[in-house]
Structures are given as C-alpha cells and as structure tokens.
C-alpha cells in the first residue's frame, strides 16, 4: 500500500468509525470488561475487527472505507441462528400441540356469541357508545343522529386522532421521563384501547354493565394522571443523574 | 442487570413452554374453553403421573425462577451496594 520510507497512515482497521477523543476507551478500560456479556461483546468485536484488519492486509483490493461487517460470516450466522430458532419452534409446537380439528362451519345456525376478532374489539366497543349520544333540548329531546351513526362517527374520530399522533409532538425526547405529559397521553391511549375492548365484550366481563361503562372512560384518566405524577416526580432525579454523568464525562474547565 | 433479566426471561419462557405442552397433553379437555387448566385425568398411569408432577414443577419453576432473577437477586445486589456505600 505504501512505501517503506513513508510512514503508514494509522487507521482503526479502516471502518471509518472514529470516536471523539474523550470517548475513546483506553486499553486498560477495555481490559476491565473482563466478564459476562460485556466480555463476550468485547471479544466478538475485537476479533471481528482483527479479522477485518487481516483480510484487508492480505487482500489485493483497494482499501475502501466500509461502515459495517461483511455479510458472511458475521451477519449470516446471526440470521441463521434466528431462523433456525423460529423454524425449530414451529416444528416443536406443531409436533407437540397440533391444533384441534373442529367440525366444519354450519351456515344454517347462528352462533350464540358474535364477535369480531380480538384485535377489532376496540372498534366494536366504540359502536356501543349509545349512552353518550346526547339528547338535545333544541330538538325536543330528540337525538341528532341514530346511536349506530354515532358509533361509526366515534370510530372516525378515534382513527383520526391516531392518524395525527405522529404530527402531534416531534420533540427529541427519548424516554418517557423527559416528557411526562406526552407519556401520560400515551398511557391514556393504551389503557383506553383495553377498556373500550372490554366494553365491547361486556356480556363476558363479570362486572356490572353500568360500572363497566363508567370505568371504560374513568380508568384511562386515572392511569394517565398516575403516569404524569410518577414521571414528573422522577424527572428531577433523572436530570440530576444525567447532568452528573455528563459532567463526569466532560469535567468543566 | 440485563444479564439477570435474560436469565429470568429464559427460565420463564422455557419452563412455560414445557408446562404448556404438558398441560395441553394432560389437562386440556377442549381447546374451546378451559384449555390447559382442565381437571387432570383420574387414572393417568405411571407416565402420566410423572408428567403431571413435571408439569407442576415446571409451572412453579417458571414463576419462582423468574422472580428470583428479577426481584430477589437484584434486591440482594442493591442491598449489598447500599450497605457498602453506608459502610465506606
């Protein structure tokens, strides 16, 4: 690559990954990773780096800056391990617990319980919001629309809210503790998804129908408030630890 | 920390899988309702007895093993760290 009289350029194996100076671990720091998972990862990456370096020095190819590991064997062995695991799982389960052969569907008889698939329970529950449909005094106690139309509109509203979620808050927070309010909104949504799903199967839920209806809308708020309170109270300690770690890494001059 | 979680999770899933298979063989009357939790057979035979005992053992191993690695061992470590900090 280079003549003997010119000094060789020092590279870290040519990966192109150059950590900033104050984050580069020293050799003693690297040797401290002497046990468990950190030792394993350390050995793996060191060996991979070494193999990479040897290959580069042996090969006659022009040195390129490549960001990553070669597909063979590094990536391929991991992929094979994962695929073998899942294929083995499928074979094991189909051998030990074969699914029951049910009698064929009978089109002439209606089943006693009619429900959509479980992942659509929330939508089915939104069709049961009849008690929330207001009776307007202006219309002489009439409802503006039928309960079924109201349920369909509720579906549209919920789907619309979910659609605008990605545009709501594009902050740089990576952890819930950094933005307690939005974390609470998220918990509200998740809990509401479960309670509205429970409402849709209210015949199968062993609590009173009215209580279940109230809980459907109360529980999300309760859990949202709890989340907000907990995260808000955690934030000070979190910021303290973060700052301490930051200033330990980069001491103020 | 992550090591402890992986160990507990491995125990939970592996023992749970074994429990699920044995429960599917011996204590499942129907897959429509009450599957895996049905009544065990009255006269299971010697293999059945061994399997039923293994099923219960795996069930408790899954729960207690996961709890050990997720709660008890971290608790011991935290306590030791706290005691060390107080002592020094």
Quick one: which H or E segment has residue A41?
A: helix A36-58
A36 Cβ under 8 Å from any chain B Cβ: yes
Instruction: State ipTM.
Output: 0.81
Find residues 100-119 of chain A whose CB sits inside 8 Å of chain B.
Answer: 100
Q: Coil, strand, or helix at residue A251?
A: coil
Q: What is the mean pLDDT of each run of 10 residues along chain A (253 residues)?
A: 49 54 64 64 78 76 65 88 96 89 86 87 89 77 83 93 84 83 93 93 86 94 97 88 79 68
Bridge partner list, B51: none
| pLDDT exceeds 50 at position B72 | yes
Predicted confidence at residue A34, as pLDDT, reads 61
How many cross-chain Cβ pairs, A to B, lie less than 8 Å apart? 12
CA distance B23 to chain A (A): 10
Domain range list for chain A: 21-96, 118-249
Instruction: Write the CA distances from A154 to A66, A129, A157, A161, B83, integer angstroms.
Output: 52, 8, 5, 11, 56
Predicted confidence at residue A1, as pLDDT, reads 43
Q: How many other C-beta atoms are found inside a 10 Å radius of the C-beta of residue A134?
A: 9
Its pTM stands at 0.56
Predicted confidence at residue B38, as pLDDT, reads 87
Residue contact B3–A99, C-beta within 8 A: no
Find residues 53-72 of chain A whose CB sits inside 8 Å of chain B.
Answer: none
Q: Which residue of A has its CA nearest to B14?
A: A89
CA distance B67 to chain A (A): 21
Predicted confidence at residue A15, as pLDDT, reads 55
Predicted confidence at residue A172, as pLDDT, reads 76
Would the CA dihedral through A98, B13, A190, B35 be positive or negative? positive
Predicted confidence at residue A9, as pLDDT, reads 52
Spatial distance between the Cα atoms of B49 and B22, rounded to a whole number of angstroms: 11
Q: Which residue of A has its CA nearest to B30?
A: A100
Q: Which residue of B has its CA nearest to A100?
A: B31
Instruction: Write the CA distances from A27 to A17, A30, A32, B88, integer angstroms.
Output: 17, 5, 9, 29
B56-67: average pLDDT = 96
Would the CA dihedral through A10, A16, A17, A22 be positive or negative? positive
Predicted confidence at residue A223, as pLDDT, reads 97
Predicted confidence at residue A108, as pLDDT, reads 92
Per-residue pLDDT tens over the stretch B21-52:
999 999 988 877 788 888 888 888 999 999 99
Contact B28, B38 (CB under 8 A): yes
């Amino acid at each position: 690559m280079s003549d003997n009289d010119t000094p060789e350029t020092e590279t870290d194996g040519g990966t192109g990954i150059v950590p900033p100076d104050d984050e580069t671990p020293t050799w003693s720091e690297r040797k401290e990773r002497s046990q468990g998972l950190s030792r394993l990862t350390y050995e793996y990456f060191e060996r991979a780096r070494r193999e990479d370096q040897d290959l580069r020095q042996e090969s006659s190819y022009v040195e390129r800056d490549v960001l990553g590991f070669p597909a063979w064997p590094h990536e391929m062995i991991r992929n094979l391990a994962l695929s073998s695991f899942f294929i083995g799982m499928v074979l094991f389960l189909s051998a030990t617990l074969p699914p029951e052969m049910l009698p064929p569907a009978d089109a002439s008889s209606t089943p006693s319980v009619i429900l959509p698939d479980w992942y659509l329970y929330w939508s089915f529950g939104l069709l049961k919001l009849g008690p929330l449909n207001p009776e307007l005094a202006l219309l002489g106690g009439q409802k503006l629309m039928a309960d079924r139309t109201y349920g369909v509109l509720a579906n549209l509203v919920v789907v619309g809210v979910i659609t605008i979620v990605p545009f709501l808050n594009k902050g740089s927070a990576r952890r819930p503790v950094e933005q307690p309010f939005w974390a609470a909104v998220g918990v509200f949504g998740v809990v509401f998804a479960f309670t509205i799903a429970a409402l849709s199967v209210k015949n199968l839920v062993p609590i009173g129908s009215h209580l279940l209806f109230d809980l459907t809308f109360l529980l999300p708020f309760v859990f949202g408030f709890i989340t907000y309170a907990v995260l808000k109270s955690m934030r000070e300690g979190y910021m303290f630890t973060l700052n301490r770690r930051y200033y330990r890494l980069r001491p103020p001059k | 920390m992550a090591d402890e979680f992986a160990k507990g999770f491995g125990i939970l899933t592996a023992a749970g899988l074994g429990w699920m298979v044995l429960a599917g063989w011996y204590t499942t009357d129907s897959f429509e309702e009450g599957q895996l939790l049905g009544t065990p057979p009255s006269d299971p035979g010697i293999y059945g007895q061994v399997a039923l005992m293994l099923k219960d053992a795996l069930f408790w191993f899954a729960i207690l093993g996961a709890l050990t690695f997720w709660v008890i061992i971290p608790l011991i470590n935290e306590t030791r760290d706290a005691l060390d900090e107080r002592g020094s």
